[in-house]
Amino acid sequence: MRDDQETPTTPVHHRVAIIGTGFAGIGMAVRLKRAGLHDLVLLERAHEVGGTWRDNTYPGAACDVPSHLYSFSFAPNPDWSRSFSPQPEIWDYLRRVAKDHDVVRHVRFGHDVTDAQWEPAANRWRITTTGGVFTAQFLISGCGPLADPAIPDIPGLESFQGTVFHSAAWRHDHDLTGRRVAVVGTGASAVQFVPEIQPVVGELKLFQRTPPWVLPRHDRDITRPETWVYRNVPLAQRAARTAIYWGRESYVLGFVHNPRLMKAVEGLARFNLRRGVRDPGLRAKLLPDYTIGCKRMLLSNDYYPALDRPNVDVVTEGIAEFQPDAVVTRDGVRHEVDTVIFGTGFHVTDSPIAQRLRDAEGVALADRWGDNMTALRGTTVAGYPNLFMLAGPNTGLGHTSQVFMIEAQIAYTMAALRHAARNRIDRVEPRADAQADYTAWVHRKMRGTVWVSGGCDSWYLNDKGRNTTLWPGFTWEYALRTRRFDPQRYHLRPEVPPAGLPPAAQSGTGGRWAGGAGAPPGEGRTGEGHTRQKEAVR
């Protein structure tokens, strides 16, 4: 792959600019190209595609959604090695999809977006990156919620003289053999890497604020006969994917409709704890006091046994400060360590990309939102025309594949762009009242769910306890709601020809794809094949 570091005197203009090359960015680009639109650019801050699956290379990194569901519906992979695919395989899969669908040539690597502002007079977004300036009529953010690591602001951290890193920026050059290691955080990443490093470190201090519920991980090798069937009988893999999908959807019955149904799942988690930890005192530390599902449910067979080893100490007292050679807890105890690994998650409810997206007056989306992220259909935002956010507010999931939701949002975005092209619309912006009504409806649905009434403080919630992250229902409901574009909820501006030019001479305006009126139609699918849509390009 190459880096394009061109810095032309005039910005390069594209019909569509996409930020990021994870599942969202790659999936969006594939759908656009299949529909005949090739005037697009993907702006990527790194030097490879892959998003979070490129960046998170910590030991034991793997998906906690079964492999056959955690992939694009249009690009099934018959060659997964395990039922829960490890990070290198998912990253290879994304690179392969990008290559097979000719996406890579549209990517500008080493282009970190530092600012993007809507220019109403020119009817375009002006996008400033570390590699140059671009303009685009439509801007699509593919920056997922797990893109920017979050490190808590703890006094004295800058004075610590040992090695410090976040799990999302793993220091593979730092040998942990015999080290005295502090792990801060007990989320999904820590549950995966702690069992990997425990056998080699000298001493491991796990600083736990809230214990997670950990279920058994039913992981296994996918056999060669199974792989042969998936390669040669695609319907078999589709059937396996569909079965996994509906099995995962069943969790919504407990999450949303009747949290008491989660008691059975909680019983399985308690069994996993009893089986993995012999010490009653340690089991008491690791037993959550909130309803299962309130925080993200984690999967592991070896996390609990790793914590029950002699070289591990689970510390539940809060951290007061760092000293040059120690972590000091609020009870005054000094825990001497030489390495600190943060497993403290990501900026989710305070999306960093929102600080760089500005409206016509220069107001950043983060400031417009404050502490309450909102978007119509989780995708478009009033005051920010021609902007689409994939994996936006209230589109996250706590039970199944985020790729399903991303594909539903891509379908909605494609429907909006098709509507604009067919009707010669050059500006698409949701009405503020429509966005407010939708947000109110989402939060009404959120009432009584395990995420807001389960008795925990999770990364799903903002500082005021409002869940701005998750979708409060079945994913098929969301797919149905985003199946078609709803123009009545939008301000739509008819295309304005450039001054002095007849309509036939327009170039790069909103009425056509880059391929023109004769570009071939593509065919797309959303979700599990429940919906097939012809993607007209006129």
For the chain, domain boundaries: 12-148+347-431+478-535, 157-212+250-342
In terms of C-beta distances under 8 Å and separation of at least 24 residues, what long-range contacts does 461-464 make, across chains too? Answer: 461/349, 462/349, 462/371, 462/372, 462/373, 463/349, 463/371, 464/371, 464/372
The predicted model gives 263-274 an average pLDDT of 94
Query: For residue range 209-228, what is the model confidence (pLDDT) as tens digits?
Result: 999 999 999 999 999 999 99
Q: How many helices and strands (H and E) does the chain possess?
A: 15, 22
In the chain, what are the helix, strand and coil shares in percent, each to the nearest 5? Answer: 30, 20, 45
Higher per-residue pLDDT: 518 or 508: 508
Q: How far apart are CA 295 and CA 141, in angstroms?
A: 26
pLDDT on residue 497: 64
Return the number of other C-beta atoms located less than 10 Å from residue 99's C-beta.
Answer: 13
pLDDT on residue 147: 73
pLDDT on residue 498: 55
**E strands present in 53-200:** 107-109, 113-119, 124-129, 132-141, 163-166, 180-184
Contact 365, 384 (CB under 8 A): yes
Enumerate the β-bridge partners of residue 492: 428
DSSP state at residue 339: E
Query: For residue range 439-460, what is the model confidence (pLDDT) as tens digits?
Result: 999 999 998 888 887 777 777 7
The predicted model gives 169-198 an average pLDDT of 97
In terms of C-beta distances under 8 Å and separation of at least 24 residues, what long-range contacts does 418-422 make, across chains too? Answer: 418/35, 418/485, 418/535, 418/536, 418/537, 419/485, 419/487, 420/492, 420/510, 421/510, 421/511, 421/512, 421/513, 421/536, 421/537, 421/538, 422/536, 422/538
The predicted model gives 9-16 an average pLDDT of 88
Architecture field, domain 12-148+347-431+478-535: 3-Layer(bba) Sandwich (3.50)
Show Cβ contacts of residue 453 under 8 Å, excluding neighbours closer than 6 positions. Answer: 259, 291, 447
Residue with tokens 């935002």: 381
Q: How far apart are CA 208 and CA 183, in angstroms?
A: 9
Angle at the Cα of 316 from the Cα atoms of 315 and 318, rounded to 5 degrees:
105
Q: How far apart are CA 450 and CA 262, in angstroms?
A: 9
CA dihedral over 188, 190, 193, 196, signed as positive or negative = negative
Q: How far apart are CA 75 and CA 311, in angstroms?
A: 44
Residue type, 449: T
Lowest mean pLDDT among 104-118, 222-236, 308-322, 486-500: 486-500
Contact 400, 473 (CB under 8 A): no
Q: For helices 23-34 and 402-422, what crossing angle results, to 10°?
A: 40
Higher per-residue pLDDT: 248 or 496: 248
pLDDT on residue 507: 38
Show Cβ contacts of residue 314 under 8 Å, excluding neighbours closer than 6 positions. Answer: 206, 208, 282, 285, 286, 307
Q: Which helix (H) or strand (E) holds 240?
A: helix 234-249
Length of the chain: 538
- Mean of the per-residue pLDDT values of the chain: 89
Record the tokens describing residue 502, joined without a space.
Answer: 């007849």
C-alpha R_g of the chain: 24
Same fold, 12-148+347-431+478-535 and 157-212+250-342: yes
Residue with tokens 């309130």: 294
Record the tokens describing residue 38, joined without a space.
Answer: 């090739």
Does 529 score more than 60 pLDDT?
Answer: no
Q: Which pTM value belongs to this model?
A: 0.89
> What is the dihedral angle through the alpha carbons of 408, 409, 414, 417, rounded to the nearest 10 degrees?
150
Show Cβ contacts of residue 207 under 8 Å, excluding neighbours closer than 6 positions. Answer: 182, 183, 184, 185, 315, 319, 327, 329
Cα dist from 222 to 79, 81, 302, whole Å: 9, 5, 20
Angle at the Cα of 373 from the Cα atoms of 48 and 57, rounded to 5 degrees:
25
Show Cβ contacts of residue 508 under 8 Å, excluding neighbours closer than 6 positions. Answer: 13, 15, 39, 137
Q: How far apart are CA 431 and CA 380, in angstroms?
A: 10
Enumerate the β-bridge partners of residue 127: 116, 134
Contact 304, 273 (CB under 8 A): yes
Record the tokens describing residue 216, joined without a space.
Answer: 């058994």
Query: For residue range 141-165, what is the model confidence (pLDDT) as tens digits?
Result: 999 777 788 889 999 999 999 999 9
pLDDT on residue 450: 85
Higher per-residue pLDDT: 526 or 68: 68
Does 21 score more than 50 pLDDT?
Answer: yes
pLDDT on residue 395: 95
Q: What's the topology of domain 157-212+250-342?
A: FAD/NAD(P)-binding domain (3.50.50)
Does 499 score more than 70 pLDDT?
Answer: no
**Cα 488 from chain centroid?**
29
Does 74 score more than 80 pLDDT?
Answer: yes
Q: Which helix (H) or strand (E) holds 23?
A: helix 23-34
